[in-house]
Amino acid sequence: MKELLCPAGNFEKMRSAILYGADAVYLASDMFGMRAAADNFTLDELSEAVQYAHERGVKVYVTVNTMPHTKEYEILGAYLKKFDQIGVDALIISDLGVFQLTRELIPDMEIHISTQASIVSAASATAWHKLGAKRVVLARELSLAEVLEIRRNTPPTLELECFIHGSMCISYSGRCLLSNYYTGRDANRGACAQPCRWNFNNANPITFAEEKRPEDVLSLEEYKEGSYIMSSKDMCMIEHIPELMESGIDSFKIEGRMKSAYYTSICANTYRMAMDEYIKDPLAYKFNEQWLKELESVSHREYATGFFFDDPMKNPQTVSQNGYLREKAYLCVAKTERDAEGYATFMQKNKVCEGERVELITPGKCGRGFIAEDLYDENGVKIPSAPHPFMLFKMKVPFDVKPGDILRSAER
């Protein structure tokens, strides 16, 4: 059975991932994770999160994938013991010292080797397995053909995990010093400032060539939008579900612990629908164009397929415009089911106006459109809009509604 593994930057995002189809979530405590800017979980919150997920049959993997310095190992050991007591399902580790300490302190803990370890060969994957790793997260710098080759040459007891959606790094699986150079924030310790996404200005076009290759002229030219020479496109593999499902990959991972709960919900829901459709009847499987439209509704950069089918070294997959693209606005989330009169209660995230065309997102379904009408506040007073953050209001909906359903704008 293939696992859909989703990001959980905080408790709200974790609930969204689970509601919309995640088999497992990955998250971090407040130290030793590679997304220091995410909300993350205190140890008490982590204990509650594990209980919440396990009650719903979902696994929890905790990232411990920074590279701690010597003075940090004492507190790291205390954290590892806490993770074991809390009952997390696995730790995601990249550093050999952290791996060894985990094996010594909590020998029964399942260990997954992080993409930060840059595993690109069957030999490396097998070596980690022999040391005691249950799973390896393969580097994003691999083609699908190389992934297949690794699967053929590794023990069947070793699980393989691959990223299939989300941000890509212009560096090698995050091993970058650019952030440290510009801001003093260490990308290898979870504090990347993402200078690769910045706009680099220059008044005039520049041409240059390596001294022994004068014919190979490279140029850097600033366009009116700016120059984004290092900002990678996002990965999106929704159009290649059959290849993924037949690849031997055990876990399909979505990037995005710092993205919104809406992002988590839509990505989980879309890949869940596509995977389930393939499982139902592989021979009759047909790609649904609406799935791509769903993924285009979240904040994202231009999409590409990363290294899976292309060589970005020969055909750079850098963006042509900076910033995020977002097609639709996240308006509100349902707090109750639809009642006998057709009304459901929602909590506002962004302003909702009567007469606005909206779409309802339900687990297992793409967006279904209708016109927002008959809005009432908590006191039963009819209102033209729900303008206040987190306000509760009722609205008539032509479809069944469940708590956690999302209402979004249908306008471009």
**C-alpha–C-alpha distance, residues 234 and 321, integer Å:** 12
- Residue 183's H or E segment, with its range, is helix 178-183
* pLDDT tens series, the chain, 412 aa: 899 999 999 999 999 999 999 999 999 988 765 555 456 799 999 999 999 999 999 999 999 988 889 999 999 999 999 999 999 999 999 999 999 999 999 999 999 999 989 999 999 999 999 999 999 999 998 999 999 999 999 999 999 999 999 987 766 665 565 666 577 776 665 667 777 667 655 555 667 666 777 776 666 655 555 556 667 788 999 999 999 999 999 999 999 998 999 999 999 999 999 999 999 999 999 999 999 999 999 988 889 998 899 776 666 677 776 667 776 789 999 999 999 999 999 999 999 999 999 999 999 999 999 999 999 999 999 999 999 999 999 999 999 999 999 999 986 4
DSSP 188: G
Residues 6+ apart with CB under 8 A from 47: 86
Rg (CA), the chain: 23
Q: Can you spell out the DSSP letters for 105-174? A: H-TTS-EEE-GGG---SHHHHHHHHHHT-SEEE--TT--HHHHHHHHHTS-TTSEEEEEEEE---SSBTT
Q: How far is residue 394 from each of residues 30, 314, 351, 411, measured CA to CA in Å?
A: 37, 54, 14, 21
What pLDDT shows up at residue 377?
96
Q: What is the distance between the alpha carbons of residues 275 and 215, in angstroms, rounded to a whole number? A: 48
- Rounded to the nearest 10 degrees, the angle between the axes of helix 73-86 and helix 43-55 is 30
Give the model's pLDDT for residue 329: 85
Query: What is d(CA 196, CA 302) in angstroms, rounded to the nearest whole number?
Result: 15
Sign of CA dihedral 361, 241, 49, 98: negative
Query: DSSP 3-state assignment of 227?
Result: coil
Tokens of 290: 């609406």
Domain architecture of the chain: domains with CATH: 3-168+232-304 (3.20.20.70), 199-228 (no CATH), 330-409 (2.40.30.10)
Q: How far apart are CA 340 and CA 246, in angstroms?
A: 45
User: Which pLDDT score is estimated for 299?
Assistant: 86
Q: What's CA 233's distance to the chain center, in Å?
A: 14
Residue 174 pLDDT:
58
